[in-house]
Amino acid sequence: MEKIVITGASSAIGMAIARRLAALGRPMLLHVNSKQMKPDKELSKAEVVVADFTKEDELNTFLSRLDDVYILVHVAASIDTQLLPMISEASIDRMICVNISAFTRICQRVIPPMVSRRNGIIVNVSSVVASKTYRGQSVYAGTKAYMEAFSRSIAAEYAARGIRCNCVAPGSIAGGSLSYLMKNMGDRIKDVNASGRLGSPEDVAGAVAYLCSADAAFVNGEVLHVDGGHWIGL
């Protein structure tokens, strides 16, 4: 049976997605960057692979495991929130390496087997900043804009061959990289959203689950924003 692969599965969003998709009953391969994740009861049968995508040998080892992927959910990302002159060259290189180069190669690897089976689902986790940018996120926003354009191109090239490729673009989600901003901005983060609250990793997981389901069989090349009405907030 073809498997579900989730990169960045140790993040709050990645873990929520893994728990949600475990209900599909397929084998799961969960990628984590460096810290060993301890699967909970719902993920006890999942295989966990540690790989730093900035290291060529570790990325190649991970790519070699992607022959029989039915669903790929790409969550893994590197982020550095600072004004451009303050971002180090090493940090820029890491964001480009993880968010663009590794992401591209992972998609490149799973597509040919999907084409052979004429069946496959790719969901890439982008960000609201790909469309509505803010100070301090120039490089990160650029990498996510690449992800969305790249995903539309995959849909254009392979929809007729049974592949669906969509993005989910979270907004203000509690936990993860937002924790740093919350320390400095507090409730102002919530005020950006029309809903007046932060989202949860489970909100994102629900959107991903929908795009992986038969209910989304005619949805391709789209970006589903999960942002609590971010666009019509302050």
Catalytic residues, by residue number, are 140
Identify the burial level of 181 via C-beta atoms within 10 angstroms of its C-beta, where 0-12 means exposed, 13-18 middle and 19 or more buried.
middle
The β-bridge relationship of strands 120-125 and 28-32 is unpaired
The residues facing 31 across adjacent strands are 49
* CB crowding 25-47: b at 16 or more within 10 Å, else e: eeebbbbbbeeebebeeebeebe
Contact between 103 and 66 (Cβ < 8 Å): no
**Cα torsion angle, 166, 170, 174, 175, sign:** positive
Contacts of 81 (CB under 8 A, 6+ apart): 136, 137, 140, 177, 180, 181
Among 173, 207, 183, 227, smallest CA distance to 11 is for 173
